[in-house]
Amino acid sequence: MKRSRPQLLVTALLFSAVAQASAQTSSEPSIGQQTQATPTTRTVFIKMDDISYGQKSIDVKPGETVRFVLKNEGALMHEFNIGKAVSQLEHQRKMALLFKEGTLTPTGKAKSVVWRERSGLGDSNPPGIPEVVEAIHDDPNAVLVEPGTTKEFVWTFHDTANLNFACTLPGHYQAGMVGEFVMR
């Protein structure tokens, strides 16, 4: 598929707007926010296999800051996304778009090459100029974890009512890669 520079700019701006909108809705004071760890931060270890988390529920309390240590022992990339089911459904659509565009693969981020059209040049020149496009995944309430890696994600909870953690990569949520936060 050929894309012109203006089309690429529009696509980049769209992703940026989506990410900003997601940041504004995902980090509402009602669910919490990504933060920095302190000496009193509780640590929860979560193992990720192919299409499952090591636990289905995690006890938390409002105001608590938790450091999640996420270890992906599977062959597929996964996501740890904190949110309510409605916002996670919307995020699934965004992730599917990244897969469709070729900037995310089942095992990690990828670079997609698109061709920018040349103008005013003769037929003897190549059809365009290649441009590399990469996935933008900067949702403040989610982190991608590639196979064989471990990442940390620190979150302060405000309200845990109906709050889940899920992998929103295509098919993972539907296969059961979702758990709940339980108010204690």
φ, ψ of residue 17 to 5 degrees: the values are -65, -40
pLDDT greater at residue 100 or residue 40: 100
Residue 69 has pLDDT above 90, yes or no: yes
Backbone φ and ψ of 133, nearest 5°:
-120, 135
Percentage above 90 pLDDT, the chain: 46
Spatial contact of 38 and 158, defined as CB atoms under 8 Å apart: no
Residue 2 amino acid letter: K
Q: At a CB cut-off of 8 Å and minimum separation 6, what does 93 contact?
A: none
* Distance in Å from the first CA to the final CA of the chain: 52
CB 8 within 8 A of CB 101: no
Least confident of 16-20, 127-131, 170-174: 16-20
What is the fold of 5-183?
Immunoglobulin-like (2.60.40)
Q: CA 139 to CA 121: how far, in whole Å?
A: 41
Q: What percent of the chain has pLDDT over 70?
A: 69
Residue type, 112: S
Model confidence at 3: pLDDT above 60:
no
61 to each of 31, 38, 40, 64, 117, how far by Cα in Å? 11, 17, 14, 6, 54
pTM: 0.70
Give the model's pLDDT for residue 160.
72
CA 130 to the chain's CA centroid: 27
